[in-house]
Amino acid sequence: MKASPAVEIRKVSFSYNGQSVLQDVDLTLEAGDFTALIGPNGGGKTTLLKLMIGLLTPSKGDIRILGEPPRRVAPRLGYMPQEIGINRSFPISVLDVVLMGRLDPARRWGGYTPADRAAAQKVLEAVHMWEFRRRRIGELSGGQRQRVFIARALVAEPDILFLDEPTASVDAVHQEKLFDLLKTLNETMTIIIVNHDLMVISSYVKSVACVNRRLHYHGGSEITEDMIRMYQCPVELIAHGIPHRVLRTHGSKPCGKRCNSNS
C-alpha cells in the first residue's frame, strides 16, 4: 500500500476578518521533500505554515498531513515559529527549554525520562549549544536563542519539520551550519521552511513553492525569474559575489522603498 503524501492541500482558502490571505491553494509534497516557501511579506507564507500544523483552520478546502487532519498528527510535527516571545528574566535554562519539546499530553505523570534527556543532548550538540545547557535562555544572544528553539522543534524527532525564518537572527557562519544540519536531517524527515535568502536555500532545498495569496509549486531548487517576480520588485541575484542575472522592473509600478527579498 502506497504511503500517504507528507502534505496534501486541496483548494484551501483563508481569510482574516473577511480579507482574503490565501485563495484556492493546492499543494502535494511527498515524504522526504525539502521545500522552501518564498514570496512577499504579507503574501501568506506564515499563514500557510500555521494551517499545515493545525494552528489555523481553512475558511474552505481540505488539508491532510501524513494522511490525517493536522491536529491528529501534531506529536509527529516539529515547528519553530518566526517570533518567539520570552520573558528574559524568567529563570529557565536552555536545557529546560529544549526538554519542553518532549512534553506529551498523553503522559499521566510528570518528569522527564533518560531518553528525553538523551534526545535533548543530541539536538543541542547538533546546533552547537550543549555547552550552554545550564545558561538562562534570556542571557543568550538572538542567534543563540534561535538555535535553541530549533533544537526544541527537533527534540521530539518529528516526521515533518516546519521552520519559519529560522535564520532571521543567525550570522552567516551559523546559517551555513544550520543548513548543513537541515540537509542531514532531511535524510530522515520532510522539511518545510520559510526563508527569504533565495541564494542560500537554492543550494539546499529540493523544491520551491511561491506564495503570494495563490501558490505556484516548482519541483526543483533553481531560482527562476518567475519566482523572483513574486517579490514584486527587481532583484539582482548574486552568486559568490558576482551578479549574474538582473531582473527587469515589473511594468510601470515602482518597487518602493523596501524590497521584500535579499539581493
pLDDT digits (tens, 9 = 90+) for 88-127: 667 889 999 999 998 876 655 567 889 999 999 999 998 8
pLDDT above 90 as % of the chain: 46
Residue the block writes with cell 483563508? 14
User: Which pTM value belongs to this model?
Assistant: 0.81
Q: Where are the domains of the chain?
A: 7-246
pLDDT at residue 229, as a whole number: 61
| Residue 170 reports pLDDT greater than 90 | no
CB atoms within 10 A of CB 126: 18
Q: How confident is the model at residue 47 (pLDDT cuts 50, 70, 90)?
A: very high
pLDDT digits (tens, 9 = 90+) for 187-221: 999 999 998 777 677 788 999 898 999 998 988 76
pLDDT at residue 226, as a whole number: 63
Mean pLDDT of the chain: 81
**CA distances to 72, 126, 128, 197 from 131, in Å:** 35, 11, 8, 29
Q: How confident is the model at residue 175 (pLDDT cuts 50, 70, 90)?
A: confident
CA dist 181 and 8 (Å) reads 26
CB–CB of 11/24 below 8 Å?
yes
pLDDT at residue 85, as a whole number: 63
- Per the CATH hierarchy, to which homologous superfamily does domain 7-246 belong? P-loop containing nucleotide triphosphate hydrolases (3.40.50.300)
Q: How confident is the model at residue 241 (pLDDT cuts 50, 70, 90)?
A: very low
The phi and psi torsions of 149 (rounded to 5 degrees) equal -70, -30
DSSP 171-219: -HHHHHHHHHHHHHHTTTSEEEEE-S-HHHHTTT-SEEEEEESEEEEES
CB–CB of 193/36 below 8 Å?
yes
pLDDT digits (tens, 9 = 90+) for 117-158: 999 999 999 888 999 999 999 898 877 888 899 899 999 899
pLDDT at residue 240, as a whole number: 36
pLDDT at residue 86, as a whole number: 66
| Residue 244 reports pLDDT greater than 80 | no
Joined grid coordinates for residue 47? 499563514
pLDDT at residue 68, as a whole number: 96
CA dist 199 and 68 (Å) reads 34
| Residue 17 reports pLDDT greater than 80 | yes
